[in-house]
């Protein structure tokens, strides 16, 4: 396994992500992470106080990136249907491109301290609420059907997105972009009046 070049924290996150995804959080020792990252334990503890800190940052960095991208799309000038489609495309593509980060979080989030789990759930909830606001905006404008609650639409969509890891493979028939387009088209199709 070769790591890309980067800062010490980036190399530690990449090493931890690979190891946690392959072996599971509980089966990885700090020494394995620092060996793969090519740094000392002292360097790791300078940036991260524990393996838990690495776990928190692995998913946190993905969620922050996705949130920033969603905010840009949602605040854009395009019609609401185009913005929702773009947001749906983006979350699928970025999830597929960062499967290991998402996989590590969903498999190991229960290992985080309760306050960190609550904070991470709150961040995910804010993301989903912003996504839901696009559905609600379209419903209020008469662009999307109103007989299905926006919450249900969002739960259904993200349930499918979170399930991608169970079946999608980069070597399969469909690229991440193709899967994303299908998911986004299905979402918009389900909202047509």
DSSP states of 108-138: HGGGS-HHHHHHHHHHHHHHHHHHHHHHHHH
Predicted model pTM:
0.88
- Both structure tokens of 54: 């690495």
pLDDT in tens, 114-167: 998 899 899 999 999 999 999 999 999 999 999 999 999 999 999 999 888 888
Pair 132, 81 in one domain: yes
Residue 32 pLDDT level (bands cut at 50, 70, 90): very high
The predicted pLDDT at position 3 comes to 60
Pair 63, 10 in one domain: no
The predicted pLDDT at position 190 comes to 96
The predicted pLDDT at position 110 comes to 85
Which has the closest alpha carbon to 105: 64, 66, 65, 57? 57
- Which of 12, 27, 49 is the last residue in one of the domains? 49
Q: Per the structure, how many domains does the chain have?
A: 2
Residue appearing with tokens 């309760």: 114
Helix axes 80-97, 51-74, angle to 10 degrees: 160
Residue 180 has pLDDT above 80, yes or no: yes
Pair 71, 119 in one domain: yes
The CA distance from 52 to 44, in Å, is 12
Residue 84 has pLDDT above 60, yes or no: yes
Report the CATH number at residue 25. 1.10.10.60
DSSP-derived letter for residue 5 is P
Domain range for 172: 58-191
The predicted pLDDT at position 6 comes to 85
pLDDT in tens, 13-29: 999 999 999 999 999 99
The predicted pLDDT at position 170 comes to 87
Pair 36, 73 in one domain: no
Pair 106, 144 in one domain: yes
Between 105 and 192, name the one with better pLDDT. 192
């Amino acid at each position: 396994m070769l790591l890309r070049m980067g800062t010490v924290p980036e190399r530690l996150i990449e090493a931890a992500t690979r190891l946690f995804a392959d072996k599971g959080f509980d089966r990885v020792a700090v020494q394995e992470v620092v060996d793969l990252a090519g740094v000392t334990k002292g360097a790791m503890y300078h940036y991260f106080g524990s393996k838990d800190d690495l776990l928190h940052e692995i998913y946190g960095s993905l969620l922050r990136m996705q949130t920033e991208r969603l905010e840009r799309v949602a605040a854009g000038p395009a019609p609401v249907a185009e913005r929702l489609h773009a947001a749906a495309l983006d979350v699928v593509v970025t999830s597929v491109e960062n499967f290991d980060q998402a996989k590590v979080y969903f498999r190991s989030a229960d290992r985080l301290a309760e306050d960190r789990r609550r904070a991470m759930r709150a961040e995910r909830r804010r993301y989903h609420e912003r996504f839901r606001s696009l559905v609600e905006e379209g419903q209020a404008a008469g662009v999307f059907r109103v007989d299905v609650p926006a919450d249900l639409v969002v739960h259904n969509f993200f349930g499918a997105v979170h399930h991608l890891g169970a079946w999608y493979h980069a070597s399969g028939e469909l690229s991440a972009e193709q899967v994303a387009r299908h998911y986004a088209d299905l979402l918009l199709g389900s909202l047509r009046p």
